[in-house]
């Protein structure tokens, strides 16, 4: 009996310690990962990664009202949950595809990706005004932020493996799709008067963005237009990565990424312009309320902005202690920003699994993932909870979903 138990333990540890390491679709950490040779001849990867964060609605509210036909919203409850912070709504999305082939010790690849970073903030003072009301004969003014940094990129990759070392270089052309000006945002004003029994409120949006597309092209974006702008307005960058192997698996790597050889030219400007007003006079006797306004995109003339990618330095290390532990770090000198994380990965009876804990651009992220690997076909899915407050990381106010699909042999 003891021998049987011992055998089960050994077999269990065996399947748990089967090496997973880093995947080729994680080449944003180190470009050399594109050709880590999980499939010896060729590999096609597709990776959409969607991250959405908001700090207003509690997860308990979502789950409690999933099957209800009528939902009661308590603004006070939402507002108190902010704890005096501004309301934030942001998305950080990434989609990548690449095709890699291996010829003896050489690795070749072509790739394309798009990133969308967008953020909107509503000042806490405005939310307090909506929830708690206003003081008569007082004017309330404030500003809110609207930010975006979205790009598209295509490029090629070359690597060379010698002994247990791999050196990879990635060369890309990139263009800005929607990059916000530092003054992009909106302002509001709220005025009441007891002398005229009136309420007057206005919301003015003035959000300039730089791009290689005009407003009509943004609204009807297609692949042909994207490649046309890449040919004419592209910036150029390279990434250089080094990986050290052990037992045919990457265990250590460093890289320098986003080295801008020439900036992209954003020669088109787009301005989101909007004005909403609320006018109500003589409320006591007439009780009339009028709301007017709209928002539209306008083209800005004489734009000539040069856009560069933020330089980054990265490193990762893999240590096997029952399962694979993989900490990594990314440092952006020009942004004074450090991203980092750690993954725990293994197999549970041939089913791969992973657990991740990361801090990316001031957002805490805890993820779990699983998948299936038939060698010719590999599918990986991970979901995550995201928060700016580590103590609320499991509140599900922010969610993330990532799918990785690989084909090859």
DSSP secondary structure of 68-100: -SS----HHHHHHHTTTPPEEEEEEEEEEEEEE
**Rounded distance, CA 250 to CA 247, Å?**
8
pLDDT at residue number 263: 94
Query: How many helices (DSSP H) and strands (DSSP E) are in the chain?
Result: 6, 21
- Write out the H or E segment, with its range, that includes residue 10: helix 2-16
**Rounded distance, CA 134 to CA 354, Å?**
50
Q: Which of 326, 162, 172, 146 is nearest to 244 (CA)?
A: 162
Angstrom distances, CA of residue 289 to CA of 197, 334, 341: 12, 50, 52
Contact 86, 121 (CB under 8 A): yes
Task: List helix spans (H) across 171-286.
Answer: 215-219, 223-233
Tokens of 69: 């036909």
Tracing tokens 């001849």 back to the chain, one arrives at 41
How is residue 389 annotated by DSSP? S
Residue 314 pLDDT level (bands cut at 50, 70, 90): very high
Contacts of 114 (CB under 8 A, 6+ apart): 94, 95, 150, 151, 152, 153, 177
Which three-class secondary structure state does DSSP give residue 197? coil
pLDDT at residue number 377: 87
**Rounded distance, CA 21 to CA 269, Å?**
43
Tokens of 119: 């953020």
Tokens of 334: 């020009």
Mean pLDDT (whole number) for 79-95: 83
Residue 160 pLDDT level (bands cut at 50, 70, 90): very high
The DSSP bridge partners found for residue 21 are none
The DSSP bridge partners found for residue 400 are 51, 384
Taking 70 as the threshold, does the pLDDT of residue 269 lie above it?
Answer: yes
pLDDT at residue number 199: 57
The answer to whether the Cα torsion of 115, 176, 311, 162 is positive or negative is positive
CB burial of 59-98 (b: ≥16 within 10 Å; e: otherwise) equals eebeeeeeeeeeeeeeeeebbebbeeeebbebbbbbebbb
Residue 5 pLDDT level (bands cut at 50, 70, 90): very low
**Rounded distance, CA 393 to CA 149, Å?**
25
- Which range, 141-145, 295-299, 402-406, is most confident? 402-406
Residue 3 pLDDT level (bands cut at 50, 70, 90): very low
Residue, of 314 and 397, whose pLDDT is higher: 314
Tokens of 78: 């939402």
Is the full-model pTM beyond 0.95? no
Using left for φ > 0, alpha for ψ between -120 and 50, and beta otherwise, residue 79 falls in alpha
Contact 382, 366 (CB under 8 A): no
pLDDT at residue number 87: 85
Q: Which of 329, 330, 299 is nearest to 312 (CA)?
A: 330
Tokens of 112: 């394309």
**Rounded distance, CA 299 to CA 319, Å?**
53
pLDDT at residue number 145: 83
């Amino acid at each position: 009996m003891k021998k049987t138990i011992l055998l089960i333990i050994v077999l269990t540890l065996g399947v748990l310690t089967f090496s997973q390491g880093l995947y080729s679709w994680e080449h944003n950490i180190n470009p050399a990962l594109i050709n880590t040779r999980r499939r010896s001849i060729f590999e096609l990867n597709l990776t959409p990664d969607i991250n959405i964060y908001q700090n207003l609605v509690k997860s308990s509210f979502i789950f409690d009202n999933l099957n209800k036909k009528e939902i009661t919203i308590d603004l006070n409850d939402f507002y108190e949950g902010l704890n005096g912070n501004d309301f934030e709504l942001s998305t950080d999305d990434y989609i990548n595809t690449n095709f890699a082939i291996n010829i003896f010790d050489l690795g070749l690849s072509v790739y394309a990706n798009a990133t969308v970073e967008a953020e909107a903030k509503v000042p806490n003072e405005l939310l307090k005004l909506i929830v708690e009301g206003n003081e008569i004969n007082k004017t309330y003014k404030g500003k809110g932020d609207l930010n975006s940094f979205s790009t598209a990129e295509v490029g090629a990759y070359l690597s060379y493996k010698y002994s247990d070392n791999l050196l990879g270089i990635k060369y890309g052309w990139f263009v800005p799709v929607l990059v916000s000006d530092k003054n992009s945002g909106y302002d509001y004003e709220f005025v009441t008067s007891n002398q005229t029994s009136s309420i007057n409120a206005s919301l003015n949006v003035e959000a300039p963005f730089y791009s290689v597309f005009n407003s009509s092209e943004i609204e009807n974006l297609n692949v042909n237009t994207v490649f046309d702008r890449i040919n004419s307005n592209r910036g150029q960058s390279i990434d250089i990565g080094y990986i050290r192997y052990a037992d045919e698996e990457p265990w250590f790597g460093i890289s320098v990424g986003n080295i801008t050889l020439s900036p992209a030219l954003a020669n088109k400007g787009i301005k989101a312009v909007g004005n909403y007003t609320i006018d109500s006079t003589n409320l006591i006797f007439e009780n009339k309320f009028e709301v007017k306004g709209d928002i539209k995109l306008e083209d800005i003339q004489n734009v000539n902005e040069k856009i560069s990618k933020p330089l980054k330095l990265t490193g990762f290390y893999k240590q096997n202690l029952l399962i694979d532990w993989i900490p990594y770090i990314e440092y952006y000198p020009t942004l004074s920003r450090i991203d980092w994380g750690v993954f725990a990965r293994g197999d549970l009876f041939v089913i791969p699994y992973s657990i991740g804990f990361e801090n990316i651009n001031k957002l805490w992220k805890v993820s779990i993932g699983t998948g299936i690997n038939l060698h010719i076909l590999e599918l990986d899915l991970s979901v995550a909870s995201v928060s700016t407050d580590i103590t609320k990381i499991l509140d599900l106010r922010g969610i993330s979903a990532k799918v990785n699909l690989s084909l090859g042999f």
